A and B are shown apart, each in its own frame.
Chain A
Amino acid sequence: MTMHRRAMVPWVLPAALLAVWQAGCMLGLIRSDVLPAPTDVAVAGWRLALSGELLRNVEVSAWRAAVGFVIGGGIGFVLGLLNGLSPGSERVLDSTLQMVRNIPHLALIPLVILWFGIGEQAKLFLVALGVFFPIYVNTQHGVRSVDPHLIEMAHAYGMTRATMIRRVILPAALPSIFVGLRYGLGITWLTLIVAETISATSGIGYMAMNAREFLLTDVVVFAILVYAALGKLADSAVRLLERLCLSWNPVYRDV
């Protein structure tokens, strides 16, 4: 019973806000073209789900998020590992990457549209670029901060370089890599929202912009909620993965 009650605590505030919102709309305190009632939003969502429009757009957005994330994250991970392990490679690459990092990737949107038009490449490029840096920086940091005592131990026990990376360096860097992963996921959705609202013919962002043209505020609000749900879902998935992979670490145990 107390377990149930404790699990419910985080949901009390959102539920109360929802109730106030609904009451405000029903009492006419909030105009429906400014903010439609939660029930209207739910009805709009139901309509979109039935027509298949919702699923199609969610699929498109999720695909863009996943592909962009894998490309940007993959490159970031490899370069982070490389620059964490090799001071030579770091000297050559790191300062350039840090310079590029200081450009907000969304500032490139006009250029990206010129390069790729409004096709898929534009969105994937922006997502990949946004995801690259958090994963790169955190992987490099994780690899660099491996306890030198463990490296020396691995050396004393005759581990080869490859074995040492697999058994010592990567597991030690994993908590830090996960931080980059979660941060990168946040950037993925942020980038996608902006990119899809500015230039797209499909996806959740397009759905919202299209609805705006027809003053369908309920659909706009619903699209925003879909983004929130997708972001939360992805974050929860990574947290679960984190807990499974880092069960050796007392910090992540029984959280």
Chain B
Amino acid sequence: MNTLPFPLREADGLGRRSMTAMQGDPRGADLRLRGVRRSFGDRAVLRGIDLDIPAGQFLAIVGRSGCGKSTLLRLLAGLDAPDRGEIAIDGSTAPQRGVVRIMFQEPRLLPWNTVARNVAVGLGDRAGAREVAAALGSVGLSDRANDWPSVLSGGQKQRAALARALVSRPRVLALDEPLGALDALTRIEMQTLLERAWAEQGFTAVLVTHDVAEAVILADRILVLEDGFIVEDVMVDLARPRAHGQPKAALIEGRVLQRLLGAAAGQRFARMDG
């Protein structure tokens, strides 16, 4: 693994990969949600979600704050349980250890462990110096293995967190706005890294984001969540790697934004850009 050079835009492997993803990749797991509901007190956050995510798909979930997108992700990652309905991973509703890994908005590294020890958290009790080194290599942090997290930049911390999530080669990667706190350039680098890791490892990716442009760049499919329901399900049928500001991408972005913002604002956006 990890033989591709880091700033990679011309890797044509990505384009082929998105086609095989549609046929189902043996590495990724498929997810099936039926009638999933979750309330906190009186507030119904998810009000009946039915969703099938094929193995290996890169799915993005967008929505306004409080629409339930993070709750949905936490349910998928097994950090929370639905009040009603069921979630099946590869057809099984029993919780399975290590199948789903989650990456949070904050890196959440253990400050008292070196970068390498932090990545090893992803392996559980299993020691695996070789896996850790490979994971660090794949995110370009080989030379920072023995540093404390406190000396890393925000982007490097998030790369270490990505290495931790991927070191055990999970079959589903849940991403809770992991790029939200990064600056624009670091963000583009991280998107590339994420897409490459997905292409190489073939896991099913579920990305929660408020950034529609990011969803269009990365995802095979975008869901719009509103008031606890899925109100839009858009396939992004574009070749990879995708460039920011591509006309077809802008069109899809406009459509999703339209749904998010309400009709009038969305049309204004489409005129401006198209």
- Point out residues on A near B: beta carbons under 8 Å: 149-150, 152-159, 163, 167-168, 171-172, 174, 246-250
From B112, B122, B148, B150, give the contact of A157 (CB < 8 A): B122
A171 to B114, CA, bound (A): 13
**Number of residue pairs spanning A and B whose beta carbons lie under 8 angstroms apart:** 48
Among the interface residues B104, B106, B112, B121, which one has the most CB atoms of the partner chain A within 10 A? Answer: B112
Is A248's CB under 8 angstroms from B124's CB? no
Among the interface residues A157, A158, A168, A247, which one has the most CB atoms of the partner chain B within 10 A? Answer: A157
Q: Mark B16-28, 1 if CB is under 8 A from A, else 0.
A: 0000000000000
From A150, A156, A246, give the contact of B79 (CB < 8 A): A156
Q: Mark B89-115, 1 if CB is under 8 A from A, else 0.
A: 000000001100110101010111100
Is B79's CB under 8 angstroms from A157's CB? no
B136 contacts A by Cβ under 8 Å: no
Which chain B residue has the least Cβ–Cβ distance from A160? B125
- A-B pairs with the 9 shortest C-beta distances? A171-B112, A153-B108, A248-B112, A248-B148, A250-B150, A156-B102, A149-B108, A158-B97, A157-B121
Can you list 17 contacts pairing A with B, beta carbon distance less than 8 Å?
A149-B104, A150-B108, A152-B108, A153-B108, A157-B122, A157-B124, A159-B121, A167-B113, A168-B110, A171-B112, A172-B112, A174-B112, A248-B113, A248-B149, A249-B111, A249-B112, A250-B150
Among the interface residues A150, A174, A248, which one has the most CB atoms of the partner chain B within 10 A? Answer: A248
Contacts of A249 in B (CB 8 A): 111-112, 150
From A149, A168, A171, A172, give the contact of B106 (CB < 8 A): A149
A249 to B112, CA, bound (A): 7
Given contacts A163-B125, A171-B110, A171-B112, is CB(A153)–CB(B104) below 8 Å?
yes
Which chain A residue has the least Cβ–Cβ distance from B77? A156
| B74 CB → nearest A CB, Å | 9
Other than A157-B122, A167-B110, A174-B112, give 5 A-B pairs with Cβ distance below 8 A.
Answer: A155-B79, A156-B102, A158-B97, A167-B113, A248-B148
Q: Mark B171-196, 1 if CB is under 8 A from A, else 0.
A: 00000000000000000000000000
A247 to B98, CA, bound (A): 31
A167 to B101, CA, bound (A): 19
From B110, B124, B164, give the contact of A158 (CB < 8 A): B124
Is A248's CB under 8 angstroms from B108's CB? no
| B135 CB → nearest A CB, Å | 14
| B263 CB → nearest A CB, Å | 38
Is B108's CB under 8 angstroms from A158's CB? no
Q: Mark B154-172, 1 if CB is under 8 A from A, else 0.
A: 0000000000100000000
| B3 CB → nearest A CB, Å | 27
| A252 CB → nearest B CB, Å | 11
Which chain B residue has the least Cβ–Cβ distance from A167? B110
Contacts of B113 in A (CB 8 A): 167, 248
A250 to B149, CA, bound (A): 10
| B178 CB → nearest A CB, Å | 13
A149 to B125, CA, bound (A): 21
Which chain A residue has the least Cβ–Cβ distance from B97? A158
A154 to B110, CA, bound (A): 9
